[in-house]
Amino acid sequence: MPSFTSEIKGEIVMNELKMCCAKAQLAALVQTDATLSISNQTLKLNFQSDNPTTAKRFWILLKQTYQATPTLQIFKRIKLKKNHSYVVSIDRDVKLILEDMHLLTSKGFSETVARSVVSKECCARAYLAGAFLASGSINSPINSNYHCEIALSQEKLALFVQKLCQRFDLNAKVIVRRHHHVVYIKAADQISDFLRMIGAFQALMKFEDIRIQRDFTNSLTRLDNCEVANEMKVIASSNEHINAIELLIKYDKFDKLDVKLKEVAILRQLHPEASLNELAQLYTQQNGALMSKSGMKHRFNKIIELSKPLREKEVK
């Protein structure tokens, strides 16, 4: 079964791109996972990925955008978890292609992309989608530890990607992990916005559906726990009231109580499972006099106070 990240990448590569966006996405793929080499005085561009979908996207974009004739090699990786590594290479017009994407300087690859490449919003989206295709991942929404990241080898590129995310109001942060500069997003709603921004709408719906179901279940659990806690409080309070009333009855003190205290005591004996709010409503209905929860509590506190000497007498 494909991972959630693979599903996202599979959806991204199905999106059609305008020429300007194709160049922006290709630039992101080159900057993230490509290397330059010289063989027989010929410049060669190599793009390597463990994801066949990403490698195919690079191959197609290169062919369609620059009418190039790239080659594809597949390597078996026995010692690592990944079974295969895919390498797309081109050794013709490499300099012209890289210069057209504003990625080549006298020192080699540019550490960031030219502003003109991502000046349009659609191109910025395509660039971020390309960066995610090359080295991004998002935890499955089944896992409550929401996490989206793009791991990059260069700090300047990571800061550039972070700034590009912030352009879309995404609160991306950067950390260093195992020689990589990782741009990451943790908030679930921000990850949803990221998926929407890069055009992964099916993945977005799946992410939101699972997230909403989990949040709903968690809300029900919290509600159940709250109700149980309230029930326990009502039972404990009722037992305290009844014990105090029984002590007053046992020592012939009940009939000497003030009428107002007798009224709530009798009401409690008739309704041992009722809350103070419910008792207050019953009192109002039966006596025609308005009674509040705090008023009911005050009267019971008085009954408990009167029973304390009797309780001490019981202990002795």
Which has the closest alpha carbon to 10: 2, 19, 18?
A: 2
The pLDDT assigned to 248 comes to: 87
Phi and psi for 242 in degrees, rounded to 5? -65, -40
- Helix 201-250 and helix 259-270: axis angle, to 10°? 120
173 shares its domain with 311: no
109 shares its domain with 253: no
The pLDDT assigned to 224 comes to: 64
- For residue 61, being part of any structural domain is answered with yes
Task: Name the one residue in this structure whose structure tokens are 């060669």.
Answer: 44
For the domain that residue 127 is a member of, what is the CATH number?
3.10.28.10
Average pLDDT along the chain, 316 residues, taken 10 residues at a time: 87 94 95 84 87 92 90 75 80 89 78 88 96 94 87 93 95 92 93 94 89 72 71 83 88 86 88 87 87 89 89 72
The pLDDT assigned to 115 comes to: 87
Domain boundary among 199, 216, 250: 199
188 shares its domain with 242: no
186 shares its domain with 37: yes
- For residue 248, being part of any structural domain is answered with yes
- For residue 296, being part of any structural domain is answered with yes
The pLDDT assigned to 223 comes to: 65
Q: Which domain holds residue 286?
A: 227-315
- For residue 190, being part of any structural domain is answered with yes
How deeply is 102 buried, as exposed, middle or buried, from its count of CB atoms within 10 A (0-12, 13-18, 19+)? middle
- For residue 20, being part of any structural domain is answered with yes
157 shares its domain with 262: no
158 shares its domain with 288: no
Domain boundary among 182, 199, 216: 199
The pLDDT assigned to 81 comes to: 56
- For residue 194, being part of any structural domain is answered with yes
- For residue 123, being part of any structural domain is answered with yes
The pLDDT assigned to 193 comes to: 94
The pLDDT assigned to 213 comes to: 79
194 shares its domain with 74: yes
39 shares its domain with 187: yes
Looking at the structure of the chain, the number of domains it has is: 2
The pLDDT assigned to 78 comes to: 62
The pLDDT assigned to 315 comes to: 64
- For residue 205, being part of any structural domain is answered with no
52 shares its domain with 141: yes
Three-state SS string over the chain comes to CCCHHHHHHHHHCCCCCCHHHHHHHHHHHHHHHEEEEEECCEEEEEEEECCHHHHHHHHHHHHHHHCCCCEEEEEECCCCCCCEEEEEEECCCHHHHHHHCCCEECCEECCCCCHHHHCCHHHHHHHHHHHHHHHEEECCCCCCCCCEEEEECCHHHHHHHHHHHHCCCCCCEEEEECCEEEEEECCHHHHHHHHHHCCCHHHHHHHHHHHHHHHHHHHHHHHHHHHHHHHHHHHHHHHHHHHHHHHHHHCCCHHHCCHHHHHHHHHHHHCCCCCHHHHHHHHHHHHCCCCCHHHHHHHHHHHHHHHHHHHHHHHC
50 shares its domain with 151: yes
